[in-house]
Amino acid sequence: MVFALLQSFWKTGPNIHTTMVNDEAYIKEVNSMGATFEVGPTPMFNDYKLVDVKNLINNQASNKQSLYRCSTGNKDTIVPESYNFRDSHPDCAREIYTQGNCSSSYSLAAVSAITDRWCKLNPADFPILSPQTPLSCDKAINNQCKGGYVSRTLDYSKIYGLVEDRCYPFSEEIDSTEDCQKKTAEC
Protein backbone atom coordinates (compact mmCIF):
# COMPACT_ATOMS: atom_id res chain seq x y z
CA MET A 1 0.00 0.00 0.00
CA VAL A 2 2.78 2.44 0.94
CA PHE A 3 4.55 1.61 -2.33
CA ALA A 4 1.37 2.37 -4.33
CA LEU A 5 0.89 5.64 -2.47
CA LEU A 6 4.51 6.72 -3.06
CA GLN A 7 4.28 5.71 -6.70
CA SER A 8 1.16 7.88 -7.17
CA PHE A 9 3.14 10.92 -6.02
CA TRP A 10 6.20 10.01 -8.09
CA LYS A 11 6.79 12.32 -11.02
CA THR A 12 6.34 10.60 -14.37
CA GLY A 13 8.18 11.40 -17.55
CA PRO A 14 11.71 11.07 -18.83
CA ASN A 15 14.65 10.95 -16.47
CA ILE A 16 16.05 14.47 -16.83
CA HIS A 17 19.50 13.31 -15.70
CA THR A 18 19.90 10.74 -18.50
CA THR A 19 17.60 11.84 -21.35
CA MET A 20 19.32 13.87 -24.05
CA VAL A 21 17.52 16.99 -25.35
CA ASN A 22 17.83 15.79 -28.95
CA ASP A 23 16.77 12.20 -28.15
CA GLU A 24 14.89 10.97 -31.26
CA ALA A 25 12.63 8.58 -29.31
CA TYR A 26 11.60 11.30 -26.86
CA ILE A 27 10.99 13.79 -29.69
CA LYS A 28 8.73 11.25 -31.44
CA GLU A 29 6.88 10.59 -28.16
CA VAL A 30 6.24 14.31 -27.59
CA ASN A 31 5.12 14.81 -31.22
CA SER A 32 2.67 11.89 -30.93
CA MET A 33 0.73 13.63 -28.13
CA GLY A 34 -1.36 15.69 -30.55
CA ALA A 35 -0.15 19.15 -29.55
CA THR A 36 -0.65 22.15 -31.84
CA PHE A 37 3.13 22.35 -32.32
CA GLU A 38 5.90 19.95 -33.28
CA VAL A 39 9.26 19.65 -31.55
CA GLY A 40 12.54 18.75 -33.20
CA PRO A 41 16.25 18.55 -32.54
CA THR A 42 18.17 21.78 -31.93
CA PRO A 43 21.89 21.79 -32.82
CA MET A 44 22.59 24.25 -30.00
CA PHE A 45 21.63 21.52 -27.50
CA ASN A 46 23.72 18.67 -28.95
CA ASP A 47 25.23 16.65 -26.09
CA TYR A 48 22.92 18.34 -23.54
CA LYS A 49 20.76 16.36 -21.13
CA LEU A 50 17.35 17.71 -20.08
CA VAL A 51 18.76 18.64 -16.66
CA ASP A 52 21.45 20.79 -18.32
CA VAL A 53 18.82 22.81 -20.19
CA LYS A 54 16.60 23.02 -17.11
CA ASN A 55 19.50 24.62 -15.24
CA LEU A 56 20.36 26.83 -18.21
CA ILE A 57 16.84 28.23 -18.57
CA ASN A 58 16.18 28.66 -14.84
CA ASN A 59 15.68 32.45 -14.84
CA GLN A 60 13.22 34.40 -12.78
CA ALA A 61 11.59 37.80 -13.09
CA SER A 62 11.97 38.51 -9.40
CA ASN A 63 13.34 36.97 -6.24
CA LYS A 64 10.23 38.09 -4.34
CA GLN A 65 7.64 35.47 -3.34
CA SER A 66 4.87 37.39 -5.10
CA LEU A 67 4.83 40.37 -7.43
CA TYR A 68 2.71 43.45 -6.86
CA ARG A 69 -0.71 43.32 -8.46
CA CYS A 70 -1.63 46.07 -10.88
CA SER A 71 -4.63 48.19 -9.99
CA THR A 72 -7.56 47.55 -12.32
CA GLY A 73 -9.60 50.48 -11.00
CA ASN A 74 -8.41 52.81 -13.77
CA LYS A 75 -9.16 51.36 -17.22
CA ASP A 76 -6.20 53.29 -18.70
CA THR A 77 -3.78 51.16 -16.67
CA ILE A 78 -5.01 47.75 -17.86
CA VAL A 79 -2.54 45.97 -20.11
CA PRO A 80 -3.98 45.38 -23.62
CA GLU A 81 -4.59 41.88 -24.99
CA SER A 82 -1.54 42.20 -27.26
CA TYR A 83 1.23 44.73 -27.63
CA ASN A 84 4.40 44.87 -29.71
CA PHE A 85 6.89 47.56 -28.75
CA ARG A 86 8.61 47.24 -32.15
CA ASP A 87 5.35 48.07 -33.94
CA SER A 88 4.58 51.01 -31.64
CA HIS A 89 8.14 52.39 -31.73
CA PRO A 90 9.87 51.19 -34.92
CA ASP A 91 12.72 53.70 -34.45
CA CYS A 92 13.69 51.80 -31.29
CA ALA A 93 13.98 48.39 -32.97
CA ARG A 94 17.47 46.97 -32.84
CA GLU A 95 19.40 43.73 -33.08
CA ILE A 96 18.02 40.74 -31.19
CA TYR A 97 20.72 39.09 -29.10
CA THR A 98 21.49 35.38 -29.23
CA GLN A 99 22.50 34.13 -25.81
CA GLY A 100 23.92 30.80 -26.97
CA ASN A 101 24.55 28.46 -24.07
CA CYS A 102 24.69 31.26 -21.51
CA SER A 103 21.54 31.67 -19.44
CA SER A 104 21.61 35.47 -19.70
CA SER A 105 18.00 36.29 -20.57
CA TYR A 106 17.54 38.03 -17.21
CA SER A 107 20.26 40.56 -18.14
CA LEU A 108 19.08 40.87 -21.75
CA ALA A 109 15.49 41.54 -20.63
CA ALA A 110 16.35 44.09 -17.95
CA VAL A 111 18.89 46.09 -19.96
CA SER A 112 16.75 45.98 -23.13
CA ALA A 113 13.81 47.35 -21.14
CA ILE A 114 15.93 50.27 -19.91
CA THR A 115 17.17 50.95 -23.45
CA ASP A 116 13.61 50.78 -24.80
CA ARG A 117 12.33 53.24 -22.20
CA TRP A 118 15.15 55.63 -23.03
CA CYS A 119 14.41 55.32 -26.75
CA LYS A 120 10.70 55.87 -26.20
CA LEU A 121 11.50 59.20 -24.52
CA ASN A 122 14.07 60.25 -27.13
CA PRO A 123 13.97 58.12 -30.32
CA ALA A 124 16.35 60.45 -32.19
CA ASP A 125 19.19 60.05 -29.71
CA PHE A 126 19.38 57.13 -27.29
CA PRO A 127 22.19 54.81 -26.19
CA ILE A 128 22.02 51.07 -26.76
CA LEU A 129 23.07 49.79 -23.36
CA SER A 130 25.13 46.64 -22.86
CA PRO A 131 23.66 43.61 -21.11
CA GLN A 132 27.24 42.37 -20.82
CA THR A 133 27.97 44.80 -17.99
CA PRO A 134 25.69 43.18 -15.38
CA LEU A 135 26.31 39.72 -16.84
CA SER A 136 30.12 39.86 -16.41
CA CYS A 137 30.56 42.44 -13.66
CA ASP A 138 27.84 41.33 -11.24
CA LYS A 139 29.53 38.62 -9.21
CA ALA A 140 27.30 38.96 -6.13
CA ILE A 141 23.67 39.61 -7.07
CA ASN A 142 23.07 37.15 -9.95
CA ASN A 143 24.68 33.93 -11.18
CA GLN A 144 26.11 35.17 -14.49
CA CYS A 145 25.61 32.47 -17.19
CA LYS A 146 23.84 30.24 -14.68
CA GLY A 147 20.79 32.54 -14.54
CA GLY A 148 19.53 35.40 -12.47
CA TYR A 149 16.71 37.80 -11.77
CA VAL A 150 15.41 40.71 -13.81
CA SER A 151 14.63 42.65 -10.61
CA ARG A 152 18.15 42.18 -9.25
CA THR A 153 19.66 43.24 -12.58
CA LEU A 154 17.60 46.42 -12.49
CA ASP A 155 18.90 47.01 -8.96
CA TYR A 156 22.48 46.42 -10.15
CA SER A 157 21.95 48.89 -13.02
CA LYS A 158 20.61 51.53 -10.63
CA ILE A 159 23.53 51.11 -8.22
CA TYR A 160 26.48 50.61 -10.58
CA GLY A 161 25.23 51.95 -13.91
CA LEU A 162 25.55 50.54 -17.42
CA VAL A 163 27.76 51.24 -20.42
CA GLU A 164 26.94 51.31 -24.11
CA ASP A 165 26.95 48.12 -26.15
CA ARG A 166 29.39 49.57 -28.70
CA CYS A 167 31.91 49.95 -25.87
CA TYR A 168 31.33 46.61 -24.12
CA PRO A 169 29.52 44.38 -26.63
CA PHE A 170 27.38 41.48 -25.55
CA SER A 171 28.91 38.01 -25.81
CA GLU A 172 28.06 34.74 -24.15
CA GLU A 173 31.46 34.73 -22.44
CA ILE A 174 32.09 35.97 -18.91
CA ASP A 175 35.04 38.26 -18.23
CA SER A 176 37.14 38.15 -15.08
CA THR A 177 36.51 40.84 -12.46
CA GLU A 178 39.67 42.67 -13.53
CA ASP A 179 38.76 42.60 -17.25
CA CYS A 180 35.23 43.73 -16.47
CA GLN A 181 36.44 46.66 -14.37
CA LYS A 182 38.98 47.61 -17.05
CA LYS A 183 36.43 47.47 -19.89
CA THR A 184 33.80 49.48 -18.03
CA ALA A 185 36.38 52.06 -16.91
CA GLU A 186 37.47 52.55 -20.54
CA CYS A 187 33.88 53.26 -21.53
Centre a 10 Å sphere on the Cβ of residue 152 and count the other Cβ atoms it contains. 21
pLDDT at 143: 85
Among residues 159, 122, 117, 118, the alpha carbon closest in space to that of 138 is found at 159
DSSP 8-state assignment for residue 180? H
Q: What is the pTM of this model?
A: 0.63
Among residues 92, 93, 157, 158, the alpha carbon closest in space to that of 131 is found at 157
Among residues 125, 124, 129, 134, the alpha carbon closest in space to that of 114 is found at 129
Say yes or no: domain 82-186 is CATH 3.30.1360.120. no
Numbered ranges of CATH 3.90.70.10 in the chain: 82-186
pLDDT at 63: 57
Task: Please report how many Cα atoms fall inside a 13 Å half-sphere around the Cα of residue 126, on the Cβ side.
Answer: 21
Residues of the chain with pLDDT under 50: 1-9
pLDDT at 71: 64
CA gap 123, 183 in Å, rounded: 27
Among residues 151, 136, 139, the alpha carbon closest in space to that of 183 is found at 136
pLDDT at 94: 85
pLDDT at 55: 66
Region class of 13: left (phi > 0), else alpha (psi between -120 and 50), else beta = left
